[in-house]
A and B are shown apart, each in its own frame.
Chain A
Amino acid sequence: MKRLTSFLTSWEALLVLLLLIGVVIGAILSPYFLSSYNLEYALPSNIMEIAIMALPMTLIIIAGEIDLSVASVLGLASVVLGLLWERGFPMWLAIGVALVVGLVAGCLNGLLVTRLALPSLVVTIGTLALYRGLAYVVLGDQAVSDFPTAFTNLGFGTIPGTEVPWSSLIFAILAVIFGVVLHFSRWGRQIYAMGNNKEAARFSGINVGGVKLMLFMLSGVIAALAGVIFTSRFSSARPDNAVGFELYVVTVVLLGGVNIFGGRGSLLGVVLAIFIVGVLQDALSLLNISGDIQSLAIGLLLILSVLGPNIAQRIQVVVAHRRLAMGSSKQV
């Protein structure tokens, strides 16, 4: 019973509730919401790149850092892929090189943060601009857009026999892997420890620098993977792909209950938050509401989700104080 109540009052429970509310409202507002096409295909495919990037971002934020360069790495990987394809290299090679580019980019981030002890916020703001600029250098004003159908099916097509896009499958697999790592493995415990108290973790023998470097490299590779999926979904490799996505990724992770200062949060929360944002965006698109207003709704949701509990807590404290005061005044 205790476990049940503690679960029910947890952040995850709130998110499940929000998700259900979102689905219900979506179903009421638009007759097209509950179609299998929408739920299986349209909703997931729009949010998949952000979802995939949110997985390593969760780990990084729990560890007490942040990586704002993910969208730029996505763009860079995308243009590298496009450039190599245009020059005639085989697709598997192009994809491989793009992933390596992501790895290197993440490595650079990690080295700057761990070896030079620079704040990750500052470093990744810098590399955000750096990698985006590199993307422009690589491809200039051009864009590559004629990709083979086999490739575009990766992002745009569905698993044969169902309507689930391939990217959903990739996300599901990655989510399970990350979930196991974060909640069940030694590394997961180490990440939580680092986020809570970096110095104490170091003194306990955890290789803080090494783990963080790995996390940043992981983030880079995953961002590059997201870039491959993005490129295939839109059949377009441009330097300005996914501009602004990093904020969405951070929003989703924060909405998922991960503490921005590190040390707390769960992957389940983030997955729920991904679906909430996906449902919100999808429902609003079906009503032909523009993207800017969708962002407004998401921003509002983010603020209220943190503000709400804080205000509720404060009211609780005030009420408890009042009760105490009244109680003591009665004891005359």
Chain B
Amino acid sequence: MTTASQGVKRVKQRNQANQARLLGLVSRVRELGLLVVLLLIILIVGVQAPRFLSIDNFEQILLSVAILAIVAVGETLVVLTRNVDLSVGSMVGLTAFVTAYFFKQLPGINLLLGILLGCALGLLLGMINGLLVSFGRVPAIVATLGTLYVYRGLVFIFASNTTSQINASDVPGDYLALATTQIFGIPSLILIAAVIAVIVGYFLHASPSGRQLYAIGSNPDAANMVGRALCHRRRDQCCGPGIAGHRGGCSRRGQYLRWLGHHPGCDVRGDCPGHIAKRVKHPEHFPVLAAGALWRGNYWGRGA
């Protein structure tokens, strides 16, 4: 065999190896596959309707998924440990309505305090889920299916017994501004979602407790044997979606009111947040679940 043909052969082999590595990368790294699909969709739709590719449109898209993204981050924490949380939609609705209600009833209240109150409620709701799963040994899907209905009913009861109208003018301007301000031209909602995603992502990868979640999901029995307080862990990260659910709730309310923000006279039917709940609870929790499952890839906890 001559050196030339050997050289050619080696180049071919190297090319083949590179191709194999690339394909292997794409097939193994789930996120890359998602990215490819995303780009394909943008390409196809963009060719058919050029208006799709405008900045305005992308901003609209990002805004409409900002809340979904926040809630999905929380859901990811749960799915990572081999559980599901079907009640996120109802939690969003409930916290949204309660927060708005508090702002209406206590006009002088500090903005931060109100938001923290809402977050505390989200934490509580998530904790109930977590306690049911860890302490009550109720399978997560059963527990959260039940709490989905329970929280939905609670919003309804609360809304129909307290107020039938919460106007945009009833909540402080700062609260509305939360959703309407733009920082460097980017709507704050998108930034909030991005920040939350980054923080949680970092926590998952870099901190021991984050890695523990992966461990629990990969093999709960092993994790248990390693001596983690499994109960404690599960309960904690069932609160995660609770807080995320609340943030989702805050932001949802905020977005709603954002459009009304200019005109305090407009009505948001008090049932509207209830309506948010009713609408969010059904169609929303499935996209959140899907998003969580898609993002963090493997349903059973093995993330890249």
Q: Tell me if chains A and B make direct contact, with any CB pair below 8 A.
A: yes
Whether A251 contacts B145 by the Cβ 8 Å rule is yes
Is A311 located at the chain interface by the 8 A CB criterion? yes
Whether B150 contacts A300 by the Cβ 8 Å rule is yes
B148 interface neighbour in A119, A121, A299, Cβ under 8 Å: A299
Chain A residues with CB below 8 A from B287, complex form: 129
Q: Which residue of B lies closest to A306 (CB)?
A: B138
Interface pick from B15-23, B55-63, B153-161, B199-207: B153-161
Whether B145 contacts A302 by the Cβ 8 Å rule is yes
Given A303-B132, A310-B138: A126 in contact with B149 (beta carbons within 8 A): no
Whether B145 contacts A296 by the Cβ 8 Å rule is no
In the assembly, what is the distance between CA of A295 and CA of B149, in Å?
Answer: 5
Q: Which residue of A lies closest to B131 (CB)?
A: A307
Chain B residues with CB below 8 A from A201, complex form: none
B143 interface neighbour in A122, A293, A303, Cβ under 8 Å: A303
Q: Mark A299-322, 1 if CB is under 8 A from B, else 0.
A: 110110011001100000000000
Given A251-B145, A306-B139: A293 in contact with B153 (beta carbons within 8 A): yes
In the assembly, what is the distance between CA of A254 and CA of B289, in Å?
Answer: 20
Query: How many residues from A make CB contacts under 8 Å with B?
Result: 31
Tell me the minimal C-beta distance from A224 to chain B in angstroms: 21
Question: How many residue pairs bridge A and B at CB < 8 Å?
Answer: 88
Whether B149 contacts A298 by the Cβ 8 Å rule is yes
Q: Mark A238-254, 1 if CB is under 8 A from B, else 0.
A: 00000110010011001
Chain B residues with CB below 8 A from A295, complex form: 149, 152-153
Tell me the minimal C-beta distance from A264 to chain B in angstroms: 12
Chain B residues with CB below 8 A from A125, complex form: 286, 289-290, 293
Chain B facing A: main interface SS: helix
In the assembly, what is the distance between CA of A184 and CA of B137, in Å?
Answer: 32
Whether A247 contacts B148 by the Cβ 8 Å rule is yes
Is A292 located at the chain interface by the 8 A CB criterion? yes
Given A244-B282, A310-B136: A302 in contact with B142 (beta carbons within 8 A): yes
Interface residues of A in 43-69 (CB under 8 A from B): 68
Chain B residues with CB below 8 A from A122, complex form: 290, 293, 299
Whether B145 contacts A247 by the Cβ 8 Å rule is yes
Whether B153 contacts A119 by the Cβ 8 Å rule is no
Chain B residues with CB below 8 A from A293, complex form: 153, 156-157
Chain A residues with CB below 8 A from B150, complex form: 296, 299-300, 303
Whether A299 contacts B137 by the Cβ 8 Å rule is no
Whether A299 contacts B146 by the Cβ 8 Å rule is yes
Is A89 located at the chain interface by the 8 A CB criterion? no
Whether B156 contacts A299 by the Cβ 8 Å rule is no
Given A122-B299, A290-B156: A254 in contact with B286 (beta carbons within 8 A): no
Is A112 located at the chain interface by the 8 A CB criterion? no
Is B234 located at the chain interface by the 8 A CB criterion? no
Chain B residues with CB below 8 A from A292, complex form: 152-153, 155-156, 278
Is A128 located at the chain interface by the 8 A CB criterion? yes
Is B237 located at the chain interface by the 8 A CB criterion? no
Whether B153 contacts A303 by the Cβ 8 Å rule is no
Is B266 located at the chain interface by the 8 A CB criterion? no
Is A234 located at the chain interface by the 8 A CB criterion? no
Shortest Cβ-Cβ A-B pairs, 10 listed: A296-B153, A299-B149, A303-B146, A292-B156, A299-B146, A295-B149, A302-B146, A299-B150, A306-B138, A307-B136
B residues apposed to A, CB below 8 Å: 84, 86, 132, 136-139, 141-143, 145-150, 152-157, 278, 282-283, 286-287, 289-290, 293, 299-300
- Can you list 23 contacts pairing A with B, beta carbon distance less than 8 Å? A68-B286, A119-B300, A122-B290, A122-B293, A125-B290, A128-B286, A129-B286, A129-B287, A250-B145, A251-B145, A251-B146, A254-B145, A260-B139, A290-B156, A292-B152, A292-B156, A296-B157, A300-B149, A303-B132, A303-B143, A306-B136, A307-B138, A311-B136
A residues apposed to B, CB below 8 Å: 68, 119, 121-122, 125-126, 128-129, 243-244, 247, 250-251, 254, 260-261, 290, 292-293, 295-300, 302-303, 306-307, 310-311
